[in-house]
Structure 1
Protein backbone atom coordinates (compact mmCIF):
# COMPACT_ATOMS: atom_id res chain seq x y z
CA UNK A 1 0.00 0.00 0.00
CA UNK A 2 1.10 3.58 -0.64
CA UNK A 3 2.73 5.54 2.15
CA UNK A 4 -0.42 7.43 2.98
CA UNK A 5 1.42 10.03 5.02
CA UNK A 6 1.80 11.54 1.56
CA UNK A 7 -1.92 11.63 0.88
CA UNK A 8 -4.50 13.98 2.36
CA UNK A 9 -7.52 15.69 0.86
CA UNK A 10 -8.82 19.16 1.68
CA UNK A 11 -12.50 18.47 1.18
CA UNK A 12 -13.63 22.11 1.38
CA UNK A 13 -11.85 25.27 0.22
CA UNK A 14 -12.79 28.49 -1.58
CA UNK A 15 -9.86 29.04 -3.90
CA UNK A 16 -11.61 31.39 -6.29
CA UNK A 17 -12.15 34.01 -3.59
CA UNK A 18 -10.23 37.25 -4.06
CA UNK A 19 -7.96 36.26 -1.16
CA UNK A 20 -6.03 34.14 -3.68
CA UNK A 21 -6.20 36.32 -6.77
CA UNK A 22 -2.47 37.12 -6.65
CA UNK A 23 -1.01 33.70 -5.81
CA UNK A 24 -3.50 30.93 -6.56
CA UNK A 25 -0.94 28.78 -8.39
CA UNK A 26 1.56 29.03 -5.54
CA UNK A 27 -1.17 28.17 -3.00
CA UNK A 28 -2.05 25.04 -4.95
CA UNK A 29 1.59 24.02 -5.33
CA UNK A 30 2.17 24.47 -1.59
CA UNK A 31 -0.74 22.14 -0.93
CA UNK A 32 0.62 19.48 -3.26
CA UNK A 33 4.11 19.85 -1.78
CA UNK A 34 2.67 19.41 1.73
CA UNK A 35 1.09 16.09 0.75
CA UNK A 36 -2.41 17.40 0.13
CA UNK A 37 -3.10 15.49 -3.06
CA UNK A 38 -6.74 16.37 -3.56
CA UNK A 39 -8.79 19.56 -3.22
CA UNK A 40 -12.49 20.31 -3.50
CA UNK A 41 -13.25 23.91 -4.44
CA UNK A 42 -16.69 24.85 -3.14
CA UNK A 43 -19.17 27.21 -4.75
CA UNK A 44 -21.34 29.65 -2.83
CA UNK A 45 -23.02 31.69 -5.61
CA UNK A 46 -24.09 31.14 -9.21
CA UNK A 47 -21.55 33.66 -10.51
CA UNK A 48 -18.77 31.35 -9.26
CA UNK A 49 -19.86 28.23 -11.12
CA UNK A 50 -17.89 28.75 -14.33
CA UNK A 51 -14.71 29.91 -12.57
CA UNK A 52 -14.74 26.94 -10.21
CA UNK A 53 -15.22 24.43 -13.00
CA UNK A 54 -12.49 26.11 -15.05
CA UNK A 55 -10.05 25.87 -12.14
CA UNK A 56 -10.85 22.21 -11.58
CA UNK A 57 -10.20 21.47 -15.24
CA UNK A 58 -6.63 22.76 -14.96
CA UNK A 59 -5.58 20.20 -12.34
CA UNK A 60 -6.26 16.48 -12.41
CA UNK A 61 -6.72 16.25 -8.63
CA UNK A 62 -8.83 19.36 -8.06
CA UNK A 63 -12.58 18.82 -7.94
CA UNK A 64 -15.49 21.16 -7.25
CA UNK A 65 -19.08 21.48 -6.09
CA UNK A 66 -22.07 23.39 -7.40
CA UNK A 67 -24.55 25.07 -5.07
CA UNK A 68 -25.68 28.16 -3.20
CA UNK A 69 -24.60 29.15 0.32
CA UNK A 70 -27.47 30.06 2.66
CA UNK A 71 -26.04 33.58 2.99
CA UNK A 72 -26.85 34.07 -0.70
CA UNK A 73 -30.24 32.36 -0.65
CA UNK A 74 -32.27 35.55 -1.17
CA UNK A 75 -30.49 36.42 -4.42
CA UNK A 76 -30.89 32.85 -5.67
CA UNK A 77 -34.37 31.90 -4.54
CA UNK A 78 -35.42 31.36 -8.16
CA UNK A 79 -32.27 29.59 -9.33
CA UNK A 80 -32.91 26.87 -11.87
CA UNK A 81 -32.70 23.35 -10.49
CA UNK A 82 -32.12 22.15 -14.04
CA UNK A 83 -29.07 24.41 -14.42
CA UNK A 84 -27.40 22.93 -11.35
CA UNK A 85 -28.30 19.40 -12.44
CA UNK A 86 -26.86 20.08 -15.89
CA UNK A 87 -23.59 21.46 -14.47
CA UNK A 88 -23.36 18.53 -12.05
CA UNK A 89 -22.84 16.20 -15.00
CA UNK A 90 -19.35 17.65 -15.49
CA UNK A 91 -16.66 15.11 -14.59
CA UNK A 92 -15.08 17.39 -11.98
CA UNK A 93 -18.30 18.29 -10.14
CA UNK A 94 -18.51 15.80 -7.28
CA UNK A 95 -20.84 17.44 -4.74
CA UNK A 96 -23.88 19.70 -4.31
CA UNK A 97 -23.42 22.79 -2.16
CA UNK A 98 -22.51 24.29 0.00
CA UNK A 99 -26.08 24.57 1.07
CA UNK A 100 -28.00 24.55 4.32
CA UNK A 101 -29.25 26.88 7.02
CA UNK A 102 -27.49 29.78 8.75
CA UNK A 103 -29.59 31.55 11.37
CA UNK A 104 -26.59 33.25 13.00
CA UNK A 105 -26.26 36.04 10.45
CA UNK A 106 -29.66 35.64 8.77
CA UNK A 107 -28.39 37.28 5.58
CA UNK A 108 -31.41 35.63 3.99
CA UNK A 109 -34.87 35.02 5.41
CA UNK A 110 -35.32 31.65 7.10
CA UNK A 111 -38.11 30.51 4.81
CA UNK A 112 -36.07 31.34 1.72
CA UNK A 113 -33.11 29.40 3.13
CA UNK A 114 -35.29 26.39 3.90
CA UNK A 115 -36.86 26.35 0.44
CA UNK A 116 -33.47 26.61 -1.27
CA UNK A 117 -32.07 23.85 0.96
CA UNK A 118 -34.93 21.59 -0.13
CA UNK A 119 -34.09 22.36 -3.77
CA UNK A 120 -30.54 21.22 -3.17
CA UNK A 121 -31.76 18.02 -1.53
CA UNK A 122 -33.89 17.33 -4.60
CA UNK A 123 -30.82 17.88 -6.78
CA UNK A 124 -28.75 15.58 -4.57
CA UNK A 125 -31.33 12.80 -4.91
CA UNK A 126 -31.51 13.16 -8.67
CA UNK A 127 -27.77 13.43 -9.30
CA UNK A 128 -26.74 11.00 -6.54
CA UNK A 129 -24.06 13.48 -5.52
CA UNK A 130 -23.55 14.21 -1.81
CA UNK A 131 -24.86 17.35 -0.15
CA UNK A 132 -22.26 19.62 1.42
CA UNK A 133 -24.24 20.98 4.36
CA UNK A 134 -23.64 24.26 6.18
CA UNK A 135 -25.51 24.65 9.45
CA UNK A 136 -25.07 27.38 12.04
CA UNK A 137 -27.41 28.22 14.90
CA UNK A 138 -29.95 26.02 13.14
CA UNK A 139 -29.41 22.54 14.56
CA UNK A 140 -33.06 21.83 15.34
CA UNK A 141 -34.31 22.98 11.95
CA UNK A 142 -31.49 21.26 10.05
CA UNK A 143 -31.99 17.97 11.89
CA UNK A 144 -35.73 17.99 11.36
CA UNK A 145 -35.49 18.91 7.71
CA UNK A 146 -32.85 16.27 6.94
CA UNK A 147 -34.79 13.52 8.73
CA UNK A 148 -38.08 14.43 7.07
CA UNK A 149 -36.57 14.75 3.61
CA UNK A 150 -34.65 11.49 3.99
CA UNK A 151 -37.94 9.68 4.64
CA UNK A 152 -39.18 11.00 1.29
CA UNK A 153 -36.16 9.65 -0.55
CA UNK A 154 -32.58 8.80 0.33
CA UNK A 155 -29.64 11.08 -0.36
CA UNK A 156 -26.07 11.27 0.89
CA UNK A 157 -24.20 14.12 2.53
CA UNK A 158 -21.75 15.54 5.00
CA UNK A 159 -21.85 18.22 7.65
CA UNK A 160 -19.16 20.67 6.63
CA UNK A 161 -16.97 22.45 9.20
CA UNK A 162 -18.79 20.67 12.02
CA UNK A 163 -19.41 22.86 15.08
CA UNK A 164 -22.89 21.66 15.99
CA UNK A 165 -24.11 19.75 19.01
CA UNK A 166 -24.52 16.09 19.89
CA UNK A 167 -28.00 15.85 18.35
CA UNK A 168 -26.73 17.04 14.98
CA UNK A 169 -23.90 14.50 15.08
CA UNK A 170 -26.30 11.68 15.95
CA UNK A 171 -28.76 12.59 13.20
CA UNK A 172 -25.99 12.88 10.62
CA UNK A 173 -24.49 9.52 11.54
CA UNK A 174 -27.89 7.82 11.64
CA UNK A 175 -28.55 9.02 8.10
CA UNK A 176 -25.22 7.63 6.95
CA UNK A 177 -23.67 11.08 6.54
CA UNK A 178 -20.07 12.06 7.20
CA UNK A 179 -18.65 14.70 9.53
CA UNK A 180 -16.06 17.13 8.17
CA UNK A 181 -13.71 18.64 10.74
CA UNK A 182 -11.82 21.90 10.26
CA UNK A 183 -9.11 23.89 11.99
CA UNK A 184 -11.63 24.94 14.64
CA UNK A 185 -10.93 21.68 16.48
CA UNK A 186 -7.41 22.99 17.24
CA UNK A 187 -8.61 26.24 18.84
CA UNK A 188 -8.04 26.57 22.58
CA UNK A 189 -11.63 27.73 23.10
CA UNK A 190 -13.13 24.74 21.24
CA UNK A 191 -13.30 22.37 24.22
CA UNK A 192 -17.07 21.91 23.84
CA UNK A 193 -16.63 20.90 20.20
CA UNK A 194 -13.87 18.46 21.12
CA UNK A 195 -16.16 16.90 23.71
CA UNK A 196 -18.88 16.47 21.07
CA UNK A 197 -16.60 14.83 18.51
CA UNK A 198 -14.54 12.62 20.83
CA UNK A 199 -16.61 9.51 20.16
CA UNK A 200 -17.20 9.98 16.44
CA UNK A 201 -16.46 6.80 14.47
CA UNK A 202 -13.25 7.29 12.53
CA UNK A 203 -14.80 5.81 9.40
CA UNK A 204 -17.16 8.81 9.17
CA UNK A 205 -14.63 11.64 9.49
CA UNK A 206 -13.11 13.75 6.73
CA UNK A 207 -11.01 16.91 7.03
CA UNK A 208 -11.11 20.37 5.49
CA UNK A 209 -9.70 23.88 5.77
CA UNK A 210 -12.65 26.07 4.71
CA UNK A 211 -9.91 28.29 3.29
CA UNK A 212 -9.42 31.23 3.41
CA UNK A 213 -11.08 31.05 6.84
CA UNK A 214 -10.39 29.24 10.12
CA UNK A 215 -6.63 28.68 10.02
CA UNK A 216 -5.69 25.99 12.54
CA UNK A 217 -3.09 26.30 15.24
CA UNK A 218 -0.18 27.01 14.82
CA UNK A 219 -1.07 29.41 11.98
CA UNK A 220 -4.27 30.84 13.44
CA UNK A 221 -4.88 34.46 12.48
CA UNK A 222 -3.29 34.14 9.05
CA UNK A 223 -5.00 33.52 5.74
CA UNK A 224 -5.86 29.86 5.57
CA UNK A 225 -4.95 27.66 2.61
CA UNK A 226 -5.25 23.96 1.74
CA UNK A 227 -1.72 23.03 2.87
CA UNK A 228 -2.82 23.79 6.43
CA UNK A 229 -5.16 20.79 6.50
CA UNK A 230 -2.03 18.87 7.47
CA UNK A 231 -1.97 20.69 10.83
CA UNK A 232 -5.59 19.77 11.50
CA UNK A 233 -5.10 16.14 10.48
CA UNK A 234 -2.03 15.73 12.68
CA UNK A 235 -3.88 17.30 15.61
CA UNK A 236 -6.82 14.94 15.14
CA UNK A 237 -4.57 11.89 14.83
CA UNK A 238 -3.21 12.70 18.27
CA UNK A 239 -6.70 13.53 19.58
CA UNK A 240 -8.07 10.15 18.47
CA UNK A 241 -4.87 8.37 19.54
CA UNK A 242 -4.07 6.84 16.18
CA UNK A 243 -0.95 7.20 14.08
CA UNK A 244 -0.76 10.05 11.60
CA UNK A 245 -0.39 7.53 8.81
CA UNK A 246 -3.57 5.71 9.85
CA UNK A 247 -5.56 8.92 10.24
CA UNK A 248 -4.42 10.26 6.88
CA UNK A 249 -5.31 6.95 5.26
CA UNK A 250 -8.71 6.67 6.97
CA UNK A 251 -9.86 10.20 6.13
CA UNK A 252 -8.71 9.93 2.51
CA UNK A 253 -10.54 6.61 2.19
CA UNK A 254 -13.64 8.21 3.73
CA UNK A 255 -13.41 11.08 1.26
CA UNK A 256 -13.48 8.64 -1.65
CA UNK A 257 -16.48 6.84 -0.14
CA UNK A 258 -18.62 9.95 0.17
CA UNK A 259 -17.39 11.64 -3.02
CA UNK A 260 -17.80 8.65 -5.27
CA UNK A 261 -17.15 10.62 -8.47
CA UNK A 262 -13.62 11.51 -7.35
CA UNK A 263 -11.11 9.18 -8.97
CA UNK A 264 -8.80 7.28 -6.66
CA UNK A 265 -5.99 7.40 -9.21
CA UNK A 266 -6.13 11.22 -9.19
CA UNK A 267 -5.52 11.25 -5.42
CA UNK A 268 -3.03 8.41 -5.18
CA UNK A 269 -1.62 8.81 -8.69
Structure 2
Protein backbone atom coordinates (compact mmCIF):
# COMPACT_ATOMS: atom_id res chain seq x y z
CA UNK A 1 0.00 0.00 0.00
CA UNK A 2 1.41 3.37 -1.03
CA UNK A 3 0.17 6.87 -1.64
CA UNK A 4 -1.19 7.31 1.87
CA UNK A 5 -0.96 10.42 4.03
CA UNK A 6 1.34 9.55 6.91
CA UNK A 7 1.85 11.82 9.92
CA UNK A 8 5.00 11.10 11.95
CA UNK A 9 5.30 12.92 15.28
CA UNK A 10 8.86 12.95 16.60
CA UNK A 11 10.22 12.67 13.07
CA UNK A 12 13.51 14.50 13.49
CA UNK A 13 15.55 11.72 15.08
CA UNK A 14 15.87 8.04 15.86
CA UNK A 15 12.89 5.74 15.30
CA UNK A 16 10.71 8.61 14.09
CA UNK A 17 13.17 9.66 11.40
CA UNK A 18 13.77 6.06 10.33
CA UNK A 19 10.00 5.56 10.06
CA UNK A 20 9.47 8.76 8.09
CA UNK A 21 12.24 7.73 5.71
CA UNK A 22 10.71 4.27 5.27
CA UNK A 23 7.31 5.68 4.35
CA UNK A 24 8.87 8.32 2.09
CA UNK A 25 10.80 5.65 0.17
CA UNK A 26 7.48 4.01 -0.70
CA UNK A 27 6.09 7.18 -2.26
CA UNK A 28 3.69 8.04 0.57
CA UNK A 29 2.82 11.64 1.39
CA UNK A 30 4.68 12.22 4.66
CA UNK A 31 4.20 14.97 7.24
CA UNK A 32 7.17 15.43 9.59
CA UNK A 33 6.54 16.90 13.04
CA UNK A 34 9.09 17.87 15.68
CA UNK A 35 9.70 20.70 18.12
CA UNK A 36 13.10 21.34 16.48
CA UNK A 37 12.94 23.23 13.21
CA UNK A 38 16.67 22.92 12.62
CA UNK A 39 16.58 19.14 13.01
CA UNK A 40 13.51 18.93 10.76
CA UNK A 41 15.43 20.67 7.98
CA UNK A 42 17.92 17.82 8.04
CA UNK A 43 15.15 15.21 8.28
CA UNK A 44 13.42 16.72 5.25
CA UNK A 45 16.60 16.34 3.19
CA UNK A 46 16.92 12.70 4.23
CA UNK A 47 13.34 11.94 3.18
CA UNK A 48 13.64 13.76 -0.13
CA UNK A 49 16.83 11.87 -0.90
CA UNK A 50 15.03 8.51 -0.83
CA UNK A 51 12.16 9.71 -3.00
CA UNK A 52 8.77 10.63 -1.60
CA UNK A 53 5.32 11.87 -2.45
CA UNK A 54 4.34 15.21 -0.96
CA UNK A 55 6.48 16.16 2.02
CA UNK A 56 5.44 18.66 4.68
CA UNK A 57 7.22 19.90 7.78
CA UNK A 58 5.52 21.16 10.94
CA UNK A 59 7.43 22.63 13.86
CA UNK A 60 5.27 22.09 16.94
CA UNK A 61 5.41 20.44 20.36
CA UNK A 62 3.06 17.52 21.04
CA UNK A 63 3.47 18.27 24.75
CA UNK A 64 1.58 21.52 24.20
CA UNK A 65 -2.14 20.79 24.77
CA UNK A 66 -3.00 22.77 21.64
CA UNK A 67 -0.24 21.30 19.50
CA UNK A 68 -2.07 18.18 18.31
CA UNK A 69 -5.06 20.18 17.13
CA UNK A 70 -2.85 22.55 15.14
CA UNK A 71 -0.94 19.65 13.59
CA UNK A 72 -4.02 17.66 12.59
CA UNK A 73 -5.76 20.79 11.29
CA UNK A 74 -2.81 21.58 9.04
CA UNK A 75 -2.65 18.06 7.64
CA UNK A 76 -6.38 18.03 6.85
CA UNK A 77 -6.17 21.43 5.20
CA UNK A 78 -3.21 20.33 3.13
CA UNK A 79 -4.25 16.76 2.24
CA UNK A 80 -7.90 16.35 3.17
CA UNK A 81 -7.33 13.11 5.06
CA UNK A 82 -4.93 11.23 7.36
CA UNK A 83 -4.29 7.53 6.82
CA UNK A 84 -1.50 6.68 9.26
CA UNK A 85 -0.29 8.41 12.42
CA UNK A 86 2.95 7.39 14.14
CA UNK A 87 3.61 8.83 17.58
CA UNK A 88 7.31 8.34 18.32
CA UNK A 89 8.09 11.54 20.25
CA UNK A 90 9.77 10.77 23.56
CA UNK A 91 12.28 12.08 26.07
CA UNK A 92 14.21 9.96 28.54
CA UNK A 93 15.63 10.50 32.02
CA UNK A 94 18.02 8.45 34.14
CA UNK A 95 18.28 8.65 37.91
CA UNK A 96 16.63 7.29 41.03
CA UNK A 97 13.15 8.52 41.86
CA UNK A 98 14.62 10.26 44.93
CA UNK A 99 17.28 12.08 42.89
CA UNK A 100 15.08 13.04 39.94
CA UNK A 101 13.92 16.69 39.88
CA UNK A 102 10.13 16.70 39.91
CA UNK A 103 9.86 18.94 36.85
CA UNK A 104 12.05 16.58 34.81
CA UNK A 105 10.05 13.54 35.95
CA UNK A 106 6.79 15.27 35.07
CA UNK A 107 8.01 16.37 31.63
CA UNK A 108 9.08 12.82 30.70
CA UNK A 109 5.67 11.49 31.75
CA UNK A 110 3.81 14.34 30.03
CA UNK A 111 5.50 13.75 26.67
CA UNK A 112 4.53 10.08 26.60
CA UNK A 113 1.10 10.10 28.23
CA UNK A 114 -0.34 13.53 27.55
CA UNK A 115 1.30 13.65 24.12
CA UNK A 116 -0.48 10.40 23.24
CA UNK A 117 -3.72 11.69 24.75
CA UNK A 118 -3.67 14.99 22.83
CA UNK A 119 -2.81 13.29 19.56
CA UNK A 120 -5.41 10.55 19.93
CA UNK A 121 -8.14 13.04 20.81
CA UNK A 122 -7.31 15.07 17.70
CA UNK A 123 -6.85 12.14 15.29
CA UNK A 124 -9.40 9.49 16.24
CA UNK A 125 -12.44 11.66 15.37
CA UNK A 126 -10.90 12.09 11.90
CA UNK A 127 -10.43 8.33 11.59
CA UNK A 128 -14.04 7.76 12.63
CA UNK A 129 -15.30 10.18 9.99
CA UNK A 130 -13.15 8.45 7.39
CA UNK A 131 -14.05 5.04 8.86
CA UNK A 132 -10.40 4.13 8.44
CA UNK A 133 -6.96 4.94 9.84
CA UNK A 134 -4.02 3.44 11.71
CA UNK A 135 -2.59 4.98 14.89
CA UNK A 136 0.78 3.51 15.91
CA UNK A 137 2.16 4.33 19.34
CA UNK A 138 5.87 3.68 19.85
CA UNK A 139 6.08 2.31 23.37
CA UNK A 140 8.97 0.33 24.89
CA UNK A 141 10.00 -2.87 26.61
CA UNK A 142 9.96 -0.62 29.69
CA UNK A 143 6.21 -0.27 29.25
CA UNK A 144 6.01 -3.84 30.58
CA UNK A 145 8.82 -4.05 33.16
CA UNK A 146 10.58 -1.75 35.61
CA UNK A 147 14.28 -0.96 35.94
CA UNK A 148 16.09 0.94 38.71
CA UNK A 149 17.25 4.46 37.79
CA UNK A 150 14.65 4.62 35.02
CA UNK A 151 11.56 5.36 37.11
CA UNK A 152 10.48 8.42 35.11
CA UNK A 153 10.69 6.62 31.79
CA UNK A 154 9.04 3.43 33.00
CA UNK A 155 6.19 5.41 34.59
CA UNK A 156 5.77 7.26 31.29
CA UNK A 157 5.76 4.11 29.19
CA UNK A 158 3.51 2.11 31.52
CA UNK A 159 1.01 4.95 31.44
CA UNK A 160 1.27 5.34 27.68
CA UNK A 161 0.79 1.62 27.16
CA UNK A 162 -2.31 1.62 29.39
CA UNK A 163 -3.74 4.51 27.39
CA UNK A 164 -3.04 2.81 24.05
CA UNK A 165 -4.59 -0.46 25.24
CA UNK A 166 -7.68 1.44 26.37
CA UNK A 167 -7.90 3.12 22.96
CA UNK A 168 -7.75 -0.31 21.34
CA UNK A 169 -10.78 -1.34 23.40
CA UNK A 170 -12.66 1.89 22.74
CA UNK A 171 -12.25 1.69 18.95
CA UNK A 172 -13.61 -1.85 18.62
CA UNK A 173 -16.86 -0.39 17.30
CA UNK A 174 -15.09 0.94 14.18
CA UNK A 175 -13.52 -1.99 12.28
CA UNK A 176 -11.54 0.25 9.94
CA UNK A 177 -9.82 2.15 12.78
CA UNK A 178 -6.77 0.51 14.33
CA UNK A 179 -4.61 1.41 17.33
CA UNK A 180 -1.30 -0.47 17.37
CA UNK A 181 1.64 -0.65 19.78
CA UNK A 182 5.30 -1.20 18.94
CA UNK A 183 7.52 -2.07 21.92
CA UNK A 184 11.25 -2.18 21.13
CA UNK A 185 14.05 -2.86 23.55
CA UNK A 186 17.40 -1.11 23.11
CA UNK A 187 17.65 0.77 19.82
CA UNK A 188 20.70 2.54 18.40
CA UNK A 189 19.37 6.11 18.50
CA UNK A 190 20.85 9.35 19.90
CA UNK A 191 18.42 9.35 22.85
CA UNK A 192 21.01 7.97 25.28
CA UNK A 193 23.29 10.96 24.75
CA UNK A 194 20.37 13.41 24.92
CA UNK A 195 18.64 12.03 28.00
CA UNK A 196 18.38 13.77 31.35
CA UNK A 197 20.92 12.14 33.62
CA UNK A 198 21.26 12.19 37.41
CA UNK A 199 23.30 9.00 37.84
CA UNK A 200 26.77 10.57 37.66
CA UNK A 201 27.75 8.33 34.74
CA UNK A 202 27.09 8.38 31.00
CA UNK A 203 24.57 5.87 29.68
CA UNK A 204 24.55 3.33 26.88
CA UNK A 205 21.89 0.98 25.45
CA UNK A 206 22.07 -2.54 26.92
CA UNK A 207 22.65 -5.31 24.40
CA UNK A 208 21.12 -6.59 22.20
CA UNK A 209 20.89 -3.27 20.35
CA UNK A 210 18.49 -3.00 17.40
CA UNK A 211 18.78 -0.70 14.41
CA UNK A 212 16.14 2.06 14.08
CA UNK A 213 15.37 0.66 10.64
CA UNK A 214 14.23 -2.62 12.16
CA UNK A 215 11.69 -0.82 14.32
CA UNK A 216 10.61 1.33 11.37
CA UNK A 217 10.03 -1.81 9.31
CA UNK A 218 7.74 -3.17 12.03
CA UNK A 219 5.78 0.09 12.01
CA UNK A 220 5.38 0.01 8.23
CA UNK A 221 4.15 -3.59 8.44
CA UNK A 222 1.54 -2.51 10.98
CA UNK A 223 0.39 0.27 8.70
CA UNK A 224 -0.01 -2.27 5.90
CA UNK A 225 -1.56 -5.00 8.04
CA UNK A 226 -2.86 -3.54 11.33
CA UNK A 227 -3.07 -5.81 14.34
CA UNK A 228 -5.67 -4.42 16.69
CA UNK A 229 -5.16 -6.49 19.81
CA UNK A 230 -1.53 -7.57 19.56
CA UNK A 231 1.28 -5.36 20.79
CA UNK A 232 4.11 -5.94 18.34
CA UNK A 233 7.35 -6.26 20.29
CA UNK A 234 10.59 -5.63 18.45
CA UNK A 235 13.55 -7.30 20.09
CA UNK A 236 14.56 -10.90 20.75
CA UNK A 237 15.03 -10.53 24.50
CA UNK A 238 11.72 -8.84 25.27
CA UNK A 239 9.56 -11.93 25.87
CA UNK A 240 12.15 -13.50 28.20
CA UNK A 241 12.58 -10.32 30.25
CA UNK A 242 8.82 -9.78 30.55
CA UNK A 243 8.28 -13.41 31.59
CA UNK A 244 10.94 -13.11 34.30
CA UNK A 245 9.42 -9.86 35.56
CA UNK A 246 5.96 -11.42 35.84
CA UNK A 247 6.71 -14.98 36.88
CA UNK A 248 9.84 -14.79 39.07
CA UNK A 249 9.73 -11.24 40.45
CA UNK A 250 12.06 -11.90 43.38
CA UNK A 251 14.77 -13.24 41.08
CA UNK A 252 14.16 -10.42 38.61
CA UNK A 253 14.51 -7.79 41.36
CA UNK A 254 17.70 -9.44 42.59
CA UNK A 255 19.35 -9.34 39.17
CA UNK A 256 17.98 -6.26 37.42
CA UNK A 257 20.01 -3.70 39.39
CA UNK A 258 23.45 -5.30 38.91
CA UNK A 259 22.69 -6.13 35.27
CA UNK A 260 21.61 -2.55 34.55
CA UNK A 261 24.79 -1.16 36.13
CA UNK A 262 26.85 -3.56 34.05
CA UNK A 263 25.03 -3.13 30.75
CA UNK A 264 23.59 0.39 30.91
CA UNK A 265 26.17 2.50 32.73
CA UNK A 266 29.53 3.50 31.28
CA UNK A 267 32.58 4.56 33.28
CA UNK A 268 32.44 8.09 31.90
CA UNK A 269 31.49 10.63 34.60
CA UNK A 270 28.85 13.24 33.77
CA UNK A 271 27.40 16.19 35.63
CA UNK A 272 23.67 16.26 36.39
CA UNK A 273 21.75 17.49 33.35
CA UNK A 274 18.13 17.81 32.21
CA UNK A 275 19.30 16.80 28.73
CA UNK A 276 16.79 17.53 25.99
CA UNK A 277 13.75 17.16 28.24
CA UNK A 278 12.88 20.86 28.02
CA UNK A 279 14.80 21.98 24.93
CA UNK A 280 15.87 19.99 21.84
CA UNK A 281 19.51 19.36 20.93
CA UNK A 282 19.37 19.70 17.11
CA UNK A 283 23.04 18.90 16.65
CA UNK A 284 22.51 15.43 18.16
CA UNK A 285 19.36 14.54 16.25
CA UNK A 286 19.87 11.94 13.54
CA UNK A 287 18.63 8.46 12.70
CA UNK A 288 21.36 6.44 14.39
CA UNK A 289 23.29 6.79 17.60
CA UNK A 290 26.94 5.92 18.13
CA UNK A 291 26.41 2.39 19.40
CA UNK A 292 27.13 -0.89 17.58
CA UNK A 293 24.04 -2.74 16.41
CA UNK A 294 23.95 -6.37 17.50
CA UNK A 295 20.59 -7.41 15.98
- TM-score (norm: length of structure 2): 0.37
Q: Based on CA coordinates, which of the two structures has the bigger radius of gyration? A: 2
- TM-score (norm: length of structure 1): 0.39
